[in-house]
Amino acid sequence: MGQNFALLLVTRARFLLVLAVLASCHHAPEPHDATEPSVDPRGYDAFYLWPGVTPPSDIHPRLLYLLDGEIRRGGAPRLTRLRMGIPRLAGTPVWLVVRVNRLDWTDDIYAALLGDLGRWKQAGNTVLGLQIDFDAATKGISGYRHFLSGVRARLPAAWRLSITGLMDWSAHGNPLELAALRDVVDEVVVQTYQGKTTIPGYKSYFREMHRFPMPFRVALVQGGAWAPPSELKQAPTFRGYVVFLMRPSAKGFVTKTSRERSSGF
């Protein structure tokens, strides 16, 4: 019995040693530095605008990403429009954004999105194209690219195609898959936040961004922590930032009436 007990202790010690080695190989996310500045929209000129949110008077947008609607989970796939009326922003280039939770799109969905793109343009807007806001997993880039190829085939040549992407794509994405994706989309907007907060350890994800094979922007959240990683300066395909403006609870933002929405944002 004593011999068995000694063997058990040795086995347990080895098991704990293995756990310790594995733990040392997995680096915990870097915590936010309390001295990091927060994102002030006044220092930027490209913005995400959800319905009901408009920039304060001291911000001058040069590029806007406007949410049109959502394609949600559950039930039959369809486009649920969230914007009342058509934006009228002559002179400011805009992307029509659709937030997506599923990829089993129907002909009706494509027809609705193409129709909205056309109506936005007819209203006098400078419409760049369609952006798909979808969190495709890093290991699922290949399948997502296949879906996007179908979207690209349905979009008239006049419209460009933008997508959102995860920071993890640059750190762990297959370089060949990312290179192939470059032939399908015109830009990727890399999301750095979750909810109202910048994702901890964001700097570590940008260590390989100088190799990112397609034009990209970096999306920041208003009020979130952000100190530009040095690697961004070395990225030849970096095109700047987009700030997600918060809901009307944020100081300086107002909610528009339905009538105002139909003639502005």
Region 26-42 average pLDDT: 66
Read off the tokens for 84.
Answer: 């009342």
Q: Note the pLDDT of residue 90.
A: 85
Is 15 among the domain residues?
no
Residue 74 belongs to domain spanning = 33-263
Query: What is the spatial distance between Cα 173 and Cα 123, in angstroms, rounded to a whole number?
Result: 40
Is 13 among the domain residues?
no
Is 99 among the domain residues?
yes
Is 167 among the domain residues?
yes
Query: What is the spatial distance between Cα 135 and Cα 64, in angstroms, rounded to a whole number?
Result: 20
Query: What is the spatial distance between Cα 206 and Cα 223, in angstroms, rounded to a whole number?
Result: 20
Count of CB atoms situated within 10 Å of the CB of 46: 19
Is 2 among the domain residues?
no
Q: Note the pLDDT of residue 265.
A: 62
Our count of domains for the chain comes to: 1
Question: Which CATH number goes with the domain that contains 235?
Answer: 3.20.20
Check: CB of residue 254 under 8 Å from CB of residue 264.
no
- pLDDT-based confidence at residue 260 (cuts at 50, 70, 90): very low
At 238, phi and psi to the nearest 5? -75, 130
Is 17 among the domain residues?
no
Region 129-138 average pLDDT: 97
Task: Provide the 8-state DSSP code for 140.
Answer: G
Region 173-199 average pLDDT: 95
Q: Note the pLDDT of residue 33.
A: 53
Query: What is the spatial distance between Cα 76 and Cα 70, in angstroms, rounded to a whole number?
Result: 13
Query: What is the spatial distance between Cα 96 and Cα 108, in angstroms, rounded to a whole number?
Result: 17
Is 8 among the domain residues?
no
Question: What pTM was estimated for this model as a whole?
Answer: 0.82
Residues 6+ positions from 133 with CB-CB distance below 8 Å: 67, 97, 98, 99, 100, 163, 164
Is 22 among the domain residues?
no
Round to the nearest angstrom and report the end-to-end CA distance of the chain. 79
Query: What is the spatial distance between Cα 64 and Cα 70, in angstroms, rounded to a whole number?
Result: 18
Listed in order, strand segments (DSSP E) in the chain are 46-49, 63-71, 80-81, 93-100, 126-133, 160-166, 187-191, 193-194, 197-198, 216-221, 238-244
Q: Note the pLDDT of residue 54.
A: 74
Task: Provide the 8-state DSSP code for 184.
Answer: T
Q: Note the pLDDT of residue 58.
A: 87
